A and B are shown apart, each in its own frame.
Chain A
């Protein structure tokens, strides 16, 4: 016989756990961000993190965007042809890419690459006393390790998404013109006529938020890891999973904010 009070207690513990987790992450993020205004700024770390995110993630983000644009054009054409609405293909591709798929898929790719990498690097530093060593070397580990990564993630993701947007649309254009019989000029004109500033801006704002979330999850899970190799492995997995879920959840919240009427 299940005691209803036990079930209530278990629910309460879960709620308290979520509140505590949220509070700890918020304090961690606030601490990391507040360092932006307090010198010293570790410019070399910021630049290295920026290059790591913006430049070295470019191939995977570009490939994802191109193939997504291609598939989207093909699926849209096939679906809309049932209603004689094939001409909407260009509009659907550009809106889907700039508003949703560009930022979300780029962020998920970066979560797998950068979130995991940051969690593993900082986690290894934690379990090998390197973070304590930073403190003994008169260096605030939050300023040195976390703040540059958070700033780099927030700045680099929008740049990646601009590239993803362009390549995603070009992927759609490629399939539309090479396979689906669209005229090159007409497709591009239709794309530009459909696109509005708010479509691009909303995508870039999402990208900045997702970039912050990905780097925050990587840094947070790495910073708190313990217990050696197993702990670092768990931190890496948790960083990717939590960043991915947050990206999808925040995507809904931001879409509601931008487009709900």
Chain B
């Protein structure tokens, strides 16, 4: 048993021009646990996750995965990390030039872990895990509803049985029932794969369903972290205001009057 967190961020900073997005983020994600990062729109949640994935280079700070500094990795080492990682993008980011089955098995095909002949059957198997019929595999992503696109995106994220699963607002834009369905699928997949998950959301119901731990980011800093089950009764007025969706409180929206 080791205490080394699966993912560790220390004093991570990122600015776009004069706009400071991450202002010294510190965060530990425990292995085989679900971490939910909460925060309002524009608080830096997506930038945090993209920094961990290497899609955005932070200005300074330390990001470690399994105790290894991501910024010091070679391209090959970074690819090895990506091989063990799955990502569900907020808008699905499905490849609209490819049919659903090829989207789902894209990583397996790219890594040559499967032949194209076998990929269709494999895709059907993974689609079944997210509650979709095999016939969906032959459709184009543009022919799917929002909920189905999310499920296909989840199928693609879990297809290569990742060690770490990143979820960017997995239930945004879905009705509450479909949101609960997607959350259930995520929890089932994570239990089955034994993966570590990092989800970013501002949907509190979703956060409680898929998170073991939670952290809240506000103005580029982590202002609280603790058990997801305590959201709403954390004792931190900012987190509690956010969790309850209250208009009055220490977090004031920057509205032009």
Interface residue ranges, A against B (CB under 8 Å): 40, 121, 125, 128-130, 132-133, 135-139
Contacts and interface: CB of A to CB of B under 8 A. Distances in A.
Nearest to B79: A138
A121 B106 CA distance: 19
Nearest to A127: B91
Interface of B: 50, 53-55, 79, 82-83, 85-87, 89-91, 93-97, 106-107, 110-111, 156, 166
**Which of A121, A129, A130, A139 has most B Cβ within 10 Å?**
A129
A130 B85 contact: no
Given A121-B97, A132-B50, A132-B55, A138 B91 contact: no
A130 B86 CA distance: 14
A209 to B, nearest CB: 28
B95 A130 contact: yes
Nearest to A130: B93
A133 B89 contact: yes
B82 A138 contact: yes
B135 to A, nearest CB: 24
A50 B156 CA distance: 28
A138 B110 contact: yes
Contact of A135 (B82, B86, B106, B111): B82
B107 A138 contact: yes
Given A135-B54, A135-B82, A129 B110 contact: no
B190 to A, nearest CB: 17
Contacts of A135: 53-55, 82
Residue from B55, B86, B93 with most neighbouring chain A CB atoms (10 Å) = B93
Given A138-B82, A138-B107, A138-B111, A133 B95 contact: yes
Nearest to B86: A136
26 contacts: A40-B110, A129-B89, A129-B91, A129-B93, A132-B50, A132-B53, A132-B55, A132-B93, A133-B87, A133-B89, A133-B93, A133-B95, A135-B53, A135-B54, A135-B82, A136-B53, A136-B85, A136-B166, A137-B82, A137-B106, A138-B82, A138-B107, A138-B110, A138-B111, A139-B106, A139-B110
Given A128-B93, A138-B83, A139-B106, 8 more contacts: A40-B110, A130-B94, A132-B89, A132-B93, A133-B93, A133-B94, A135-B54, A137-B82
Contacts of A130: 93-96
B96 to A, nearest CB: 8
Nearest to A125: B95
Contacts of A133: 87, 89, 93-95
A130 B97 CA distance: 11
B110 A137 contact: yes
Contacts of B156: 137
Contacts of B55: 132, 135-136
B5 to A, nearest CB: 21
Contacts of A40: 110
A137 B107 contact: yes
Contacts of B85: 136
Contacts of B89: 129, 132-133
